[in-house]
């Protein structure tokens, strides 16, 4: 199938069938995934990200619409053939009792191995490659149950890679990882998509990382629509803000992040430059202050020098030698007066 | 163990005597010959096959249900068998069949039919229902059917005479001594067939360890695999129960012991291991139950648990804690 592998969905309705009828999670979805592309799927909780991923993986029937894998209708593809084309990393914990990491990864070779699951040299080569690709070589002989969340997630991705599928769908793989581990994982995945020409779809709540790493974003709206585009385009045209903004939360297009609505409306006149200024501003914003250019409306003014923070309030000047003591002072003052 | 078990019993033989007899050039006397070939050998062979069957079936059930407490009888085949036997011994029995008939010849064959039939009907019902629900519900349905059948058996027992009850209780103790050579022609192929059928599913069983969704994502047809594995396991358990009565404990002990010995969940290792461990436990239990040097035969089920439970406990204590299995 090679480079042409792609998933296309037209007017797709996703959701669940049960005896009482259907629960439609989202409908009218048009989307496609191509090789060499790292796509992040974003959306509020309950928008249907996991359902979409399972549907695209062929694990759940679409309620309506058309879903094709490289031109073939998804539900007509035999399980084994589908497994060679699509691999998944799911949110559910991979049960892992009494199994070493290598064995777990080797289960990814099932779509290729024979009746009894014996591994050929080629299989072992691909398993080794997968383990190296996620940087998990030191973990290979350890018991999966002894690994940390981050290590287990790597092994889980290596298992999917071993499947040698051109499409990989990952459901919140970064959910339980600390920030450095998330960044590491995102960059591993993006590089794999580009170097191996994989079509990689990853759902995440990590908007910041998605904006930094994704080639394209899919935004699922609470109403069950799908918006698609380059991260920067979605930020500029305001769609990003539309999907995520709530009563208490603002999308700040300048910094590319979310801010809670300021509690107080006090302003500070801030002078200074460099990294000290950046972090001072962040501290002020966190504490509920806006930044003002106008002397008259400011509660106090603050000059940031290299090693000293100079505060002027009611004509009195006070110096702080570090940001810690400045923050302590700001919190100790009753600003309501 | 196999040979030891043939040698020793209520009459003891020397190893060379047994070997010569088995190899066909025995000059031993005819009575000894008959004891060795027609009683000991089939009994030990039955113990061996039953242990292998129950070990395998227990492993399959534990994997399919992803539950370390599952045993070969979770689908209720043993209670189905016990109902069949109860009907014959407690309900129909009083009409014509006497207790002594029940222990030999055609009476014995009738018991086998009754218990196999009971097991088969139960299995059929559970498998039929299992196609409509998820796997955890199958476990609970199996349990509920067991309780229901158990209740029916209790009612039958309540209305039975003490003498009849005793023969039913004897059946429920389990006994490897009931399979004659003519019955072995059905017993052995059924067990071997069941084991071969189960072995065919080593690879998808490994995939099932990952859970349904992952198993399906690597191309496993989970429903199909589960159906055949449940069928195979229940055939094994049902056959053993049919011929030997409800043999407890081996089915749950053998897979745990195998996992402990080999420290893996890989079915290419665990299936052969469970076969061997099950067979060994079973022959040992039978050996002890026959009480070498004594004139009594102890209830087999008591011995399997008496031997097996301490072994499992010792293994777990040594290991410190139960490793996550699924």
ipTM: 0.78
From A171-185, B266-280, B285-299, the region with the lowest mean pLDDT: B285-299
Token code pair at residue B156 = 């039958």
Report chain A residues whose CB lies below 8 A from the CB of B265.
97-99
Q: What pLDDT score was predicted for residue B13?
A: 72
Structure-token match 């930044």, residue found: A291
Min Cα separation A83/chain B (Å): 5
**Residue B29 binned pLDDT confidence (cut-offs 50, 70, 90):** confident
Q: What pLDDT score was predicted for residue B11?
A: 66
The chain B residue lying nearest A119, using CA atoms, is B203
Q: What pLDDT score was predicted for residue B95?
A: 52
Q: What pLDDT score was predicted for residue B133?
A: 80
Structural domains in chain B, CATH included, are 2-239+249-319 (1.10.3470.10)
Taking all residues of chain B, what is their mean pLDDT, rounded to a whole number?
Answer: 82
CA B118 to chain centre: 15
What is the C-alpha to C-alpha distance for residues A53 and A45, in angstroms, rounded to an integer? 14
User: Which segments of chain A have a pLDDT < 50?
Assistant: 1-3
Q: B265 CB near a chain A CB, below 8 Å? A: yes
The chain B residue lying nearest A163, using CA atoms, is B218
Report chain B residues whose CB lies below 8 A from the CB of A82.
219
From A99-108, A165-174, B29-38, B42-51, the region with the lowest mean pLDDT: B29-38
CATH 3.40.50.300 occupies which residues in chain A?
2-248
Q: What pLDDT score was predicted for residue B77?
A: 83
What separation in angstroms does the CA of A307 have from each of A284, B47, B209, B295?
18, 85, 59, 97
What separation in angstroms does the CA of B137 have from each of A94, A105, B143, B144, B230?
21, 30, 10, 10, 14
Q: What pLDDT score was predicted for residue B205?
A: 92
CATH 3.30.70.20, domain A2-248, yes or no: no
For residue B119, pLDDT beyond 80: yes
Residue B263 to residue A97, Cβ atoms within 8 A: no
For residue B324, pLDDT beyond 70: no
What is the C-alpha to C-alpha distance for residues A196 and B76, in angstroms, rounded to an integer? 51
For residue B101, pLDDT beyond 50: no
Q: How many CB pairs under 8 A join A and B?
A: 84
Q: What pLDDT score was predicted for residue B27?
A: 62
Pairing label, strands A64-69, A6-18: antiparallel
Q: What pLDDT score was predicted for residue A263?
A: 54
**Residue B2 binned pLDDT confidence (cut-offs 50, 70, 90):** low
Mean pLDDT in residue range B19-35: 71
Min Cα separation B214/chain A (Å): 8
What is the C-alpha to C-alpha distance for residues A222 and A244, in angstroms, rounded to an integer? 9
Q: A74 CB near a chain B CB, below 8 Å? A: no
Q: What pLDDT score was predicted for residue B196?
A: 93
Residue A80 to residue B219, Cβ atoms within 8 A: yes
Residue A98 to residue B214, Cβ atoms within 8 A: no
Min Cα separation B185/chain A (Å): 29
Three-point CA angle B36, B39, B43, nearest 5°: 110
Query: Pick from B271, B251, B234, B250: which is nearest to B138 by CA?
Result: B234
CB contacts under 8 A, B 216-245 vs A, are 216-221
**Alpha helices for B218-298 (secondary structure H):** 222-244, 250-262, 267-289
The answer to whether residues B290 and B46 touch, using CB atoms and an 8 Å cutoff, is no
Residue A94 to residue B203, Cβ atoms within 8 A: no
Residue A87 to residue B200, Cβ atoms within 8 A: no
């Amino acid at each position: 199938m090679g480079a042409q592998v792609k998933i296309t969905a037209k007017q797709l309705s996703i959701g669940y069938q049960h005896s009482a009828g259907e629960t439609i999670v989202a409908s009218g979805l048009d989307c496609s995934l191509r090789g060499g592309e790292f796509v992040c799927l974003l959306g509020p909780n309950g928008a249907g990200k996991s359902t979409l991923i399972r549907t695209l993986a062929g694990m759940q029937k679409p309620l309506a619409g058309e879903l094709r894998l490289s031109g073939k209708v998804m539900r007509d593809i035999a399980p084994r053939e589908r497994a060679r084309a699509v691999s998944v990393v799911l949110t559910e914990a991979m049960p892992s009792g009494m199994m070493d990491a290598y064995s777990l990864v080797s289960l990814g070779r099932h779509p290729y191995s024979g009746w009894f699951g014996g591994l050929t040299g080629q299989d072992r080569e691909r398993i080794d490659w997968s383990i190296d690709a996620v940087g998990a070589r030191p973990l290979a002989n350890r018991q999966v149950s002894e690994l940390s969340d981050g290590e287990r997630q790597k092994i889980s991705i290596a298992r999917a890679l071993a499947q040698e599928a051109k499409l990989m769908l990952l459901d919140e793989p970064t959910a339980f990882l600390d920030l450095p581990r998330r960044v590491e994982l995102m960059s591993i995945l993006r590089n794999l998509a580009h170097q191996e020409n994989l079509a990689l779809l990853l759902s995440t709540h990590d908007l910041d990382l998605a904006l930094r790493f994704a080639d394209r974003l899919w935004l699922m709206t609470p109403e069950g629509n799908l918006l698609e585009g380059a991260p920067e385009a979605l930020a500029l045209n305001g769609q990003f803000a539309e999907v995520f903004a709530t009563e208490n939360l603002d999308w700040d297009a300048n910094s590319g992040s979310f801010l809670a609505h300021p509690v107080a409306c006090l302003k500070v006149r801030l002078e200074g430059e460099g990294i000290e200024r950046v972090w001072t501003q962040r501290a002020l914003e966190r504490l509920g202050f806006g930044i003002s250019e106008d002397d008259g409306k400011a509660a106090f003014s603050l000059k940031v020098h290299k090693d000293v923070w100079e505060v002027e309030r009611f004509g009195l000047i006070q110096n702080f030698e570090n940001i810690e003591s400045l923050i302590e002072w700001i919190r100790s003052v009753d600003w309501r007066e | 163990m196999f040979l030891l078990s043939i040698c020793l019993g209520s009459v003891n033989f020397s190893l060379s005597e047994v070997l010569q007899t088995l190899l066909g050039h025995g000059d031993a006397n005819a009575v000894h010959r008959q004891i060795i070939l027609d009683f000991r050998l089939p009994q030990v062979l039955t113990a061996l096959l039953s242990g292998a069957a129950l070990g395998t079936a227990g492993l399959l059930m534990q994997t399919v249900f992803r539950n370390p407490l599952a045993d070969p009888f979770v689908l209720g085949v043993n209670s189905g068998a016990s109902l069949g036997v109860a009907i014959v011994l407690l309900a129909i029995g009083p009409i014509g069949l006497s207790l002594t008939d029940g222990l030999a010849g055609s009476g014995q064959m009738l018991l086998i039919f009754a218990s196999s039939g009971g097991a088969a009907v139960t299995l059929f019902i559970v498998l039929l229902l299992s196609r409509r629900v998820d796997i955890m519900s199958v476990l609970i349905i199996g349990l509920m059917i067991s309780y229901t059948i158990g209740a029916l058996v209790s009612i039958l027992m309540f209305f039975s005479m003490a003498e009849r009850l005793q023969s039913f209780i004897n059946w429920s103790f389990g006994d490897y001594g009931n399979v004659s050579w003519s019955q072995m022609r059905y017993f052995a192929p059924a067990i071997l067939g069941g084991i071969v059928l189960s072995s065919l599913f080593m690879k998808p069983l490994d995939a099932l360890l990952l859970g349904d969704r992952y198993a399906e994502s690597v191309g496993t047809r989970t429903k199909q695999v589960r159906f055949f594995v449940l069928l195979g396991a229940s055939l094994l358990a049902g056959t053993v129960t049919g011929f030997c009565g409800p043999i407890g404990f081996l089915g749950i002990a053998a897979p745990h012991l195998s996992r402990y010995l080999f420290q893996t969940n890989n079915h290419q290792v665990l299936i052969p291991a469970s076969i061997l461990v099950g067979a060994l436990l079973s022959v040992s239990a039978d050996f002890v139950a026959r009480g070498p040097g004594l004139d009594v035969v102890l209830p087999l089920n008591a011995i399997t648990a008496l031997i097996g439970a301490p072994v499992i406990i010792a293994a777990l204590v040594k290991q410190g804690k139960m490793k996550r299995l699924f």
